Amino acid sequence: MKKAVVLLSGGLDSAVTLYLAKKEYECHVLIFNYGQKASIEIEYAKKVAEISGSAFKVLDISMPWQGSSLLDKEISVPKGCASDDSNIPNTYVPARNMIFLSFGISFAEAIGAEAVFIGAHQMDFSNYPDCRDVFFNAFQEAVQKGTRAGANGEEIKVVTPIIGKTKDEILRKGTELGVPFEYTWSCYEGREVPCGECESCIFRKKAFEEVGLKDPLI
């Protein structure tokens, strides 16, 4: 069976992406411990990978320059919809998807995987520039020009299967696929229970309400 690398954050979106990838690929999961306040998401990601039957690695990386409220204890995570009016909120982690995808592509080349899956979407999201089609298209071109696979005329695809879906559509698809949402974590805060007030919590709450389901974390 062909192989794929799946970047798994522990959130709802990446969990659904893993289960979509599982339909066609033997999945090898990468989970990142990058100093995030919500480190609880790492344990949730490991649980989802285990339940899905996928091999996983937790990669410890350092971002000592921080530059985001998700990393810096001195910067508060904003409450409410901080990305209104096309603002990029301080929850943006500088070049995070570029960094994570680079690790994913390296891993894929090493194990002979054909694709790297990432659960980014550009509908209900926080205006992060590295969650848009234009970024992923450009990164795909860089992969073709900057890897041995590309030089040999092969392709490692960067796959964004939920890029054009809204949060409620993602939730519906995950329900169809049997995603264990009780082991997904969306909150930006590093607490034992979701804060319910950050933008990510708000997006999640709205999606469960629109689909008519109870959030198993609440």
Q: Could you tell me if residue 168 is inside a domain?
A: yes
Q: Could you tell me if residue 160 is inside a domain?
A: yes
Q: What is the pLDDT of residue 192?
A: 87
Cβ proximity of 45 and 9 under 8 Å? yes
Tell me the residue range of the domain where 97 lies. Answer: 3-211
Amino acid (1-letter code) at residue 188: Y
Q: Could you tell me if residue 176 is inside a domain?
A: yes
Please count the structural domains in the chain.
Answer: 1
Q: Could you tell me if residue 24 is inside a domain?
A: yes
Q: Could you tell me if residue 161 is inside a domain?
A: yes
Q: Could you tell me if residue 206 is inside a domain?
A: yes
Cβ proximity of 21 and 13 under 8 Å? no
The strand ranges marked E within 46-183 are: 55-60, 115-117, 157-159
Per-residue pLDDT 10s for the chain (218 aa) are 899 999 999 999 999 999 999 999 999 999 999 999 999 999 999 999 999 999 999 999 999 999 999 999 999 999 988 677 678 999 999 999 999 999 999 999 999 999 999 999 987 677 899 999 999 999 999 999 999 999 999 999 999 999 999 999 999 999 999 999 999 999 999 888 999 999 999 999 999 999 999 999 98
Tokens representing 213 are 């389901």
Q: What is the pLDDT of residue 82?
A: 66
Cβ proximity of 58 and 103 under 8 Å? no
Length reported for the chain: 218
pTM listed for this prediction: 0.96
Domain containing residue 124: CATH number? 3.40.50.620
Q: What is the pLDDT of residue 218?
A: 85
Task: Report the alpha-carbon distance of residue 180 to residue 198 in Å, rounded.
Answer: 22
In what helix (H) or strand (E) does residue 139 lie, and over which residues does it extend? helix 133-146
Tokens representing 107 are 């891993």
In what helix (H) or strand (E) does residue 42 lie, and over which residues does it extend? helix 40-52
Mapping DSSP to helix (H, G, I), strand (E, B) and coil, where does residue 20 land?
A: helix
Q: Could you tell me if residue 216 is inside a domain?
A: no
Q: What is the pLDDT of residue 122?
A: 86
Q: Could you tell me if residue 217 is inside a domain?
A: no
